[in-house]
Amino acid sequence: MRSTRLLLVLLGLATLVMTGCSTDWFFVKNLSTYGDKVDDIIVLITAIAVPGFLLTITAMVIFVVQYRRGKGNKAEYIKGDTGAIVKVIIILDVVVLLLDLLILFHTLDTFYSIDGEIVKKESSWILPIKKGNSLVLPTGANYKLEVPNAEVLEVNVTLSQFSFTFSYPGKDGILGTDDDIESTGVFHVPVGKKVVIHITATDVIHSFFVNTLRLKQDAIPGRTITRWFEVDKEKVEKARKRPKFDWNKDINGVEIHDLAKAIVGMRTQLGDANYGRTQTKIDNLKAVVSAKKDVKNAEKDAKKKADLERGIKGTETRIQDYKAEIKDVNSGKTKQEMDQKIKKLKQLYENAFLGQRLVEIACAEICGADHTIMNAWLIIDSKEGFKKWMVQKIKDE
Amino acid sequence: MSATHAAGHHNDSFISKYVFSTDHKVIGMQYIITGIIMAFIGGYLAYKFRMQLAWPELGIMGRADYNSSVTIHGLIMIFWVAMPILVAAFGNLLIPTMIGCDDMAYPSLNMISYWLFLLSAIVAIVSILVGGYGGGWTLYPPLSANMASAGGGGAYGSTLPGIFSGGSLIIVAIALEFFAFLMGGLNFIVTTVNMRAPGMGFWDIPVVVWFIDLAVLVFMFSVGPLIAGAIMLLFDRSLGTGFFDPAKGGDPILFQHLFWFFGHPEVYVVLFPSIGFVGEIVSTFSRKPLLGYKKIIYAALIASFLSFIVWAHHQFVAGINSDMAVWFTVATMLISVPFTSIILSMVITMYKGSVELKSPMLWALGWIVTFSVGGVTGLYLGSVGSDIQFHDTYFVVAHFHYTLIPITIFGGMSAVYYWYPKFIGKHYNEFLAKLHFWLTFIFFNGAFMSMFIPGTAAQHRRIAGYFIETYPQMTEYQDIRIFTTICVIGLIITQVIWIYNMISSYYKGKIAERNPWKANTLEWTCASPPPHGNFETYPTVYRGPYEFSVPNREEDYWPQDQAS
């Protein structure tokens, strides 16, 4: 029984570790008002499922050790169609069902706090909804915005291969008119204000995913789906761990918008260097193979053949150049330049409070050959800073 | 009659005996060998894209090739490895021998089923050679309906038009495979219902046969909508129709419903046979009746039914109606109850048993541990609140590898090691079998448990390298990606031990007796390997399949065909 006791102790320790860990240990820091609820449901499931799993596996290990044939154990004839063991299994099934219900109630609460707080249902096609003192009978899904427009910022988010475009209301303050302000690849939002986004796609299915806000929504061509979020000011300030800071500037006093521009520029340079090389290599190799095939087919036509051979030579030269470039990158000056750029970019991220003011937006749904590089930035601004940016944008337009 | 059946085949040529054979055992072996070849193609693709993820700066593959590799890897592993090996191969090997008949009800249809399957595998390979398809294994339109952006041209390098493009060919291959399995599945059901040995009632059928037949039924009931969807998609790609194109009045979400109505039950199609294997093995190696045999079958029936009403949990972030999301969450949560019941029955079967840790039992125990991780992590994805965060991330990748690898590798290997002496007629090297298990167990858990770390941080998937300039918040997981890749390579290399063990034992292994594990089911009464026609005389069944350690008997087993 010593082994049994040891296993039980280990089980207890593992459960403590798994359920006792801070959520920060697992998750990217959350900055939205509802994100904690999403994290909480994940912790709740962990607290239920992990001990359940460990208990089952511990029982299995105990049975294997305790009743192994080497010890001379003779098996007992237990069919398990009736008797105490059946009761045990039924009780365990009921426990699982009850725990499922516990998860269910919490997960629905979480879901409705995301889906229902701003974009609230008037009625449902399945259940009657309480409205005032009366119940509204099911009449089909019907949604409306409950918050007055003045209190929210509405933005159209359009995804297409392979970019994000954000449209804000322009001078007239109405979204969807000719004077809308557009921003590609950078999504400016004010802190502490509800942002309602209308997401759509122009070509294939994409996904609008902001990990730091716990927000994910597929963008479907032909449909516009409305979601919302609010960046919690307290969470941003807490995450930054600085009691005093200027919302509009980075730690060196550089305007945050200028910093964002610098980061986007640096990213493009590095991205071209990293991805461009691989893609060029593959495209060139494919071109050589295809051109060689064409030469074979064009054997009879001397002029065509000569043209094609020139083409091959050109491509081969490009490959040679490319190889030389790679050599530079890997061993010489270019590598040093790249390293410096990366170092600089890291510094810029740090200055811009990566994960706190500067946040990744990604497309999480595979959407074509360049899906890998389909991303954008969310810049979290103070209300004043955001206003200033809008005014500047309107002027520029 | 069986003896006559066998005698009629004495003078068969090599071609008719091993190539165009109608013998269910040869067809079973053909499925296994084809499945293994496809597994190595799928494994090679995994190696390639894991290398890219671990060391993206080397530029091992381009973005489009990466997309294509992960897509084809997924499709191959599910449709040309898991399904043929678990359902078709073991269904063919086990159903006739375990229910006590000489062959399938329709042997010629069985042969055509295999050849159609082989054709589908060839078409799938050709689709890779002409440029592949990189729109994800779920084939979501409009991307999959668009030639230029998702295979068959442009970024994917194919110059072949229309129906001959990589994307179209892979859809054709899937459709062909489904027709093959419909033929095979029909055969399984008719054989089980009509050709059982005298005395074998439905509650005397071994659990593995029940589960293979249930898998086939789930497949047959769910596949129709996807076949329709695949044909519509093919029309969109080739004929310019717009079933899934909003610009032409179509709806891309319609395809998602058609796909997942099949896609979720499909997991149970491959899962069920492996539950059956584990049930057989746990009972035999614990020398105890399978605990709650009837309840396990009832639980599987409930799970089968529920599997048809949970599909939209794959679409929680696709913008489906929120009431629908609620109901699909409820149904998904409920499905954990029958599976908990099944797993507990397996575990408690060992209670007060006489457990022997031979290699099939080790693989079966490995299945229980690893599949339970898959089951537990499914809770996060079935619950709509947490699925928002984990959808399309490495958490999903880790989760489904914790369901599909236990099902295919742990379940499949437990079956291979259990029935190898029966169907090959030789014993394998037990040390190598155990070494194979432990290395697989370690590398598998190393690879996919580590994947939960970036997964929990919601690192989104299908990205050909996480560079500082694109996903700076995800660059801190690069060491974990390297660790995962090393474990995946270890997992692939470990399978060489298995191949060596199987081949060397075939030539040099000790001759296997009829019933090396002292089990009760009918296949162990045949010679090893069973001759054409299987049985010297048709067996009669007197009792259920799990009468182990019955009181007042000298032997601790009691074969189904023994009168007393």
Chain segment B216-258, per-residue pLDDT in tens = 999 999 999 999 999 999 898 888 899 998 888 899 999 999 9
Confirm or reject contact between B392 and chain A (CB < 8 A).
Answer: yes
A247 versus A206: the higher-pLDDT residue is A206
Q: Is the pLDDT of residue B480 over 90?
A: yes
What confidence score (pLDDT) does residue A322 get? Answer: 60
Lowest mean pLDDT among B135-139, B271-275, B489-493: B135-139
Is B391–A103 a contact, with Cβ atoms under 8 angstroms apart? no
A9-26 tens-digit pLDDT: 655 555 555 555 545 557
Which chain B residues are Cβ-neighbours of A287 within 8 angstroms? Answer: none
Chain B residues closer than 8 Å to A210 by CB: none
B459 pLDDT band, cuts 50/70/90, is very high
Q: How many CB atoms lie within 10 A of CB A299?
A: 9
Number of CB atoms found within 10 A of residue B294's CB: 14
The reply to whether residue A80 touches residue B291, judged by beta carbons under 8 angstroms, is yes
Determine the pLDDT at residue B46: 96
The two tokens of residue B371 are: 């599949």
To test the contact with chain A by mutation, choose from B296, B367, B386 the residue with the greatest count of A C-beta atoms within 10 A, namely B386
* Closest by CA position to B176, among listed B262, B260, B115: B115
pLDDT value at position A9? Answer: 60
Residue with the bigger pLDDT between A72 and B523: it is B523
pLDDT band at A269 (very low <50, low <70, confident <90, very high): low
Q: How far apart are alpha carbons B407 and B363 in whole angstroms?
A: 11
Average pLDDT of span A228-239: 86
B412 vs A249: CA distance, rounded Å: 60
Residues of chain A by 3-state class (helix, strand, coil), percent to 5? 55, 20, 25
CB-closest option in A48, A345, A370 to B468: A345
Q: Is it the case that residue A303 has pLDDT exceeding 90? A: no
Contact between A188 and A381 (Cβ < 8 Å) = yes
Which pLDDT belongs to residue B25? 96
- Out of A90-104, A145-159, B149-163, give the one with best mean pLDDT: A90-104
**Complex confidence, ipTM:** 0.91
Residue A260: helix, strand or coil by DSSP? helix
Give the minimum alpha-carbon distance from A389 to chain B in angstroms, rounded to a whole number: 24
Q: Give the end-to-end CA distance of chain B in Å, rounded to a whole number.
A: 25
The verdict on B391 touching A (C-beta cutoff 8 Å) is: yes
pLDDT level of residue B160 (50, 70, 90 thresholds): very low
- Kindly tell me if the per-residue pLDDT of A149 is higher than 60: no
Res A273: pLDDT = 54
pLDDT of residue B48: 93
Does B206 touch chain A if contact means CB atoms closer than 8 Å?
A: no
Distance from CA of A232 to the nearest CA of B (A): 18
pLDDT at B161: 46
Partner B, chain A 301-320, Cβ-Cβ below 8 Å: none
State mean pLDDT over B422-443: 97
Least confident of A219-223, A358-362, B106-110, B466-470: B466-470
- Of A63, A35, A37, A90, residue with least CA distance to A236: A35
Mean pLDDT of chain B: 90
Per-residue pLDDT reduced to its tens digit, B201-210 = 999 999 999 9
Long-range contacts formed by A16-25: CB under 8 A, 24+ apart = A18/A46, A18/A47, A18/A50, A18/A51, A19/A43, A19/A46, A19/A47, A19/A50, A19/A51
Contact A345 B57 (CB under 8 A): no
Q: Tens of pLDDT along A43-66?
A: 999 999 999 999 999 999 999 999
Q: Residue range B345-355: average pLDDT?
A: 94
Cβ contact, residue pair B355, A221, below 8 Å: no
Q: What is the pLDDT of residue A143?
A: 40
The average pLDDT across B478-492 equals 95
pLDDT of residue A116: 60
pLDDT tens per residue, range B391-420: 999 999 999 999 999 999 999 999 999 999
Per-residue confidence band for A124, with pLDDT thresholds at 50, 70 and 90: very low
Contact between B95 and B277 (Cβ < 8 Å): no
B345 touches chain A (CB under 8 A): yes
Task: Say which range, A317-321, B7-11, B460-464, has the weakest mean pLDDT.
Answer: B7-11
- Residues of chain A neighbouring B252 (CB-CB closer than 8 A): 205, 220-222
* pLDDT, position A6: 58
Q: Nearest Cβ partner of B67 from A92, A365, A366?
A: A366
Q: Hey, is the C-beta of A77 within 8 angstroms of any chain B C-beta?
A: yes
Residue A281: predicted pLDDT: 60
Task: Determine the average pLDDT of the residues in B545-558.
Answer: 92
Mapping DSSP to helix (H, G, I), strand (E, B) and coil, where does residue A165 land? Answer: strand
Partners of residue B451 in chain A, C-beta under 8 Å: none
φ, ψ dihedrals at B551, nearest 5°: -60, 150
- Would you say residue A128 has pLDDT above 50? no
Residues in chain A: 397
A190 vs B7, residue with greater confidence: A190
**Pairwise CB contact (< 8 Å): A78 & B288:** yes
Give me the sheet containing A186-190, strands edge to edge. A186-190, A375-381, A358-362, A206-210, A215-219
For residue B162, pLDDT beyond 70: no
Percentage, residues of chain B above pLDDT 90: 73
pLDDT of amino acid A8: 56
Query: Does residue B161 have a cis bond before it (omega within 30 degrees)?
Result: no
Strand locations in B30-104 (E):
none
Q: How far is CA A171 from the centre of its chain?
A: 32
By the CB < 8 Å criterion, does A115 face chain B? yes
Q: Does A45 touch chain B (CB under 8 A)?
A: yes
Task: Return phi, psi of residue A164, to 5°.
Answer: -115, 130
Whether residue A378 is predicted with pLDDT greater than 50 in this model: the reply is yes
pLDDT at B359: 97
Distance from CA of B115 to the nearest CA of A (A): 34
**Candidate ranges A195-199, A239-243, B467-471; pick with highest mean pLDDT:** A195-199
